[in-house]
Structure 1
Amino acid sequence: MPETTGDTLHTGPLAGTDANAPWQIPGSAWLKIVKRVYRMSGFHELGLLSAGLAFYCFLALTPLIGATVMIYGLIGDVATVHDQMQSIVEVVPPEVARMLEEQLLQIVTTSRGVTGFALLIALFFAIFGGMRAANGMISALNVINEERETRGVISLTVRALGLTVSAILIALTGVLSGGVFAWLQTQTSVYLGDATAILFKWLTWISAVALGSAGFALIMRYGPDRRPAKWRWLAPGSLLATLLWIGVSFGFSLYVAYISDYNATYGSLSAIVVFLMWLFLSAYGVLLGALVNAEIERQTYCDTTVGPTLPAGERGAVLADLVDNRVPSIGDLERRKRRRAEQARQGTE
């Protein structure tokens, strides 16, 4: 029988505490991780975090599109935008695709005449405007990793800028690679038959999942205020975030098309409501992936951070420094919430 002490249920040494990689964690430990993810999603108010992040993404999306198109638009035109939007329409809800296409066409049309120094200034302000989403993501990841933000304004701004530029470069890589795969699919279907075209279609999706996972892992590693985790400990959550985003996009598209009638409920605001709901569900999937990584890190005693192996308490990350991998009880969570409020109050004095 497990031993009960105070508000905490002790179950002895947890399975998987000696794992040096996520794939070494046994099934019984994964069950504990899933249970903690469910409990901690409520403790961290993952729904509220996702709603806030969706709002910041909504504000940042047009500047981010502008920054991306200002680079890509140097070689793009209206016809190119229409071609690229065909692949996006297959994934996101039609209302979202229509809004994105309108923004893309407007930016492509207006940015063609912007060159030289003016282009650099416009690009700077577009990236600066797009940093809202990066700042929102950093705040959410700090909450999930149970970290307090201690970096200065300059350091935090540089970090957000780096994540924003990385997101733009990943988006450009995805657009360009998608165009290359689409061209190869068309060419090979003509000369080598339909089987080769299907192969390249699968390669397109595999590349998209790999690229998305790499992008989410980059954000989860360098976003929170802590010593970065090793890449292998970020792989499960980043892959889950990518798969959830794809699943949410497909599933919500079907829901909007065949089940719910947003036009009847919201009228002319339906496109914006669908857009925000899609961003909210996407943000929830990404933060859920980050929470999975956090609970995996809580499960193991080994040093999950980069650099030389350090003893617990000196690793520079709250979850990596834990020496007692207990499943938090309701009492633990309440005490932790009061302690966090007390720390915030002392920080303002």
Structure 2
Amino acid sequence: MDQSQKIRKYQGEDAKWPYEIPLTGWIDIIKRSFHEMKADNVQIVAAGVAFYFFLSIFPTIIAAISVYSLVLEPDQIREQISKLSLILPEQSFEMIKDFLEPIIEKSKKEFGWGLAISVLVSIWSANQGTSALLTSALNFLKKHKALESIVLLPTDTG
């Protein structure tokens, strides 16, 4: 079978440039993309990574403020936090400010346990998020055999 008799599975698959793909070809691409995203559980993985990110964001902020409070005075910290109002929406800034105000007011003696717990929760959450992302990526690569030659996958040795 020569090239002229080749049976085309998708519209525009012989296009060399995106503008050469007809509308029906783009529709095929979109359908395949949604099918592959569903098959690879992209939404579930994204939700898991986002969950662990948001789970770790406040303990990370607490840890940073705790370390920061050991070096600076509360008024200096408030002044620097107020600069966030320039880049954050008003409601977000107020929420963060209300969340951080009691932390800033604590004495330096109280920061020991808060700092330790915040760092541990942050590390655990970041670890879980990274683990979910890497597990998903490895499962994806195992499913798509063509990519195994590009990426070295761990193997069971025993």
Structure 1 residues 146, 88: CA separation in 2 closer, same or farther (over 3 Å shift)? Answer: same
Q: How does 1:252-331 map to 2 (within 5 A)?
A: 312=149, 315-316=152-153
CA shift digits 1:266-311 (9 cap, x unpaired): xxxxxxxxxxxxxxxxxxxxxxxxxxxx9xxx9x98xxxxxxxxx9
Letter of the structure 1 residue corresponding to residue 108 of structure 2? R
Whichever of the two has the greater Rg, that structure is 2
Stretches of structure 1 lacking an aligned partner (at least 5 in a row): 16-26, 149-293, 302-310, 318-349
Q: Could you tell me how far 1:2 is from its partner in structure 2?
A: 5.6
Normalising by structure 1, report the TM-score.
0.30
Question: Aligned partners of 1:111, 1:45: CA distance in 2, in Å?
Answer: 47
Q: CA deviation at 1:81?
A: 3.1
What one-letter code is carried by the residue in structure 2 that aligns with 1:138? T
2:94 corresponds in structure 1 to: 98
| Partner SS for 1:147 | helix
Q: In the alignment, which of 48, 69, 72 is matched to residue 44 of structure 2? A: 48
User: Partner letter of residue 127 of structure 1?
Assistant: V
1:127 aligns with: 119
Residues in 2 aligned to 1:49 and 1:63: alpha-carbon distance in whole angstroms: 22
Aligned residue pair count: 134
- Specify whether residues 313 and 41 from structure 1 end up closer, same or farther in structure 2 by C-alpha distance, changes over 3 A only: closer
> 3-state DSSP class of the match of 1:312?
coil
Matched with 1:142 is: 134
Can you give the 5+ residue segments of structure 2 that lack an aligned partner in the other structure? 1-5
Distance 2:94 2:65 in 1: 16
CA distance in 1, matches of 2:56, 2:150: 37
Check conservation: 2:53, 2:129, Cα contact below 8 A: no
1:70 counterpart = 2:66: yes
Aligned match of 1:82: 78
In structure 2, the CA distance between the partners of 1:147 and 1:124, relative to structure 1 (3 Å rule), is farther
- State the superposition RMSD in angstroms: 4.1
CA distance in 2 between counterparts of 1:46 and 1:77 reads 45
- Alignment deviations for residues 25-46 of structure 1 (CA, whole Å, 9 cap, x no partner): xx75xx99x9676554433343
How far, CA to CA, are the matches of 2:87 and 2:72 in structure 1?
22
Q: Distance in 2 between matches of 1:73 and 1:104?
A: 11
Residue-by-residue CA offset, 1:168-220 (whole Å, 9 max, x unaligned)? xxxxxxxxxxxxxxxxxxxxxxxxxxxxxxxxxxxxxxxxxxxxxxxxxxxxx
Shift of 1:314: 7.1
Matching residue's letter, 1:69: I
Percent of aligned pairs with the same residue? 19
SS of 2:152's equivalent in the other structure is coil
Partners of 2:49 and 2:130 within 8 A in 1: no
- Paired residue for 2:53? 57
Contact 1:67 1:127 in 2 (8 A): yes
Does the 8 A contact of 2:48 with 2:129 survive in 1?
no
Per-residue deviation at 1:68?
0.9
Instruction: Assess, with a 3 A threshold, how the Cα gap between structure 1 residues 136 and 92 changes in structure 2: closer, same or farther.
Output: farther
The alpha-carbon distance between structure 1 residues 90 and 136, as it changes in their structure 2 partners (threshold 3 A), is farther
Return closer, same or farther for 1:66/1:111 CA change in 2, 3 Å cut-off.
Answer: farther
The one-letter code sitting in structure 1 at the alignment partner of 2:91 is E
